[in-house]
Amino acid sequence: MALNEILITISSLETHSIEIDLFYTLHYLYMYAEVFLMKTYLNEISRLFNKLNEEIMHCGDLPKKDFLVALCNNHHKLSLIVIRRQHLFNTSVIMIVLHIFVETSNAVLSLVSSARAVVKYHRIDQIFVIWDVLICVEMSTITWLIIKMRMDIVNEAEKTATYIHDIWNKLASKNQIDCYAKQLQLLALQLYNSKLSFTAYGFFALDWTLLHKIISAAATYVVILIQFEISSTTKNSVFASNSTV
């Protein structure tokens, strides 16, 4: 009985190997440093867009024409800066997303192995299960941060067009459709048609669909690995039975 438990523990340790070496540690430090730099840079961009929106909200129901034109020009310049500088973190984002995919897949596969061990041996290694769950939570949090920082900028940029369109609606409701109102409508349309979007060199969009893609890709990868493992186990059992005969 004791020998059987030792063999089960060894098998479990082989399945749930936790390797903490220098490269692994440096990779994690690099990933968190890049996320921190992204947060600092992107939060500043979001703050500037938010400041433009506050200027529109505080200028009253009918702001001056020159004021709105200057504000929209600043909005356009800030959008161009975001578009031209978003490549600064693209390489890091791709590396981080690949790391998240690998870590999530390994953690999910390890959880599946733990579930199979419960069914087969009626025991569970709580430490490894907690470790795998923490890895999944950590990778999900990092993905959420990467996406949210960019979506905050997109949402703040879209608010500007909404505020200007609201001012135009107030003029239209009063039948004050003059050159100023038409220019407001034109500015709102220009802002609506120039929506910001973030991509990683065009490979994938850095929005909430990325989270869905990582989950679906990791699930598909784990299912394929399990199928390979089941087929190899079946072949080995058939070979063993034939050799015994």
Write out the two tokens for 107.
């953690």
> Is 80 exceeded by the pLDDT of residue 178?
no
Per-residue pLDDT tens over the stretch 17-45: 444 456 667 777 888 888 888 888 888 88
Domain boundaries, the chain: 22-238
How far, in Å, CA of 206 to CA of 126, rounded?
Answer: 35
**Percent of all residues in the chain with a pLDDT value above 90, rounded to a whole number:** 5
> Which pLDDT score is estimated for 57?
77
> Which pLDDT score is estimated for 10?
41
> Which pLDDT score is estimated for 159?
86
Look over the chain and give the mean of its residue pLDDT values, rounded to a whole number.
78
Residue in 164, 159, 156, 160 with CA at minimum distance from that of residue 62: 164
Amino acid identity of residue 23, one-letter, is F
Per-residue pLDDT tens over the stretch 85-117: 888 888 889 988 988 998 888 888 888 887 777
> Can you say whether the dihedral through the CA atoms of 68, 69, 74, 79 is positive or negative?
positive
- Mean pLDDT value of segment 67-91: 82
> Which pLDDT score is estimated for 240?
53
Q: pLDDT grade, residue 126 (50/70/90)?
A: confident
Q: pLDDT grade, residue 244 (50/70/90)?
A: low
> Is 90 exceeded by the pLDDT of residue 144?
yes
- Mean pLDDT value of segment 147-160: 89
Helix ranges restricted to H, the chain: 2-15, 22-58, 65-85, 90-121, 126-173, 179-193, 208-244
> Which pLDDT score is estimated for 23?
62
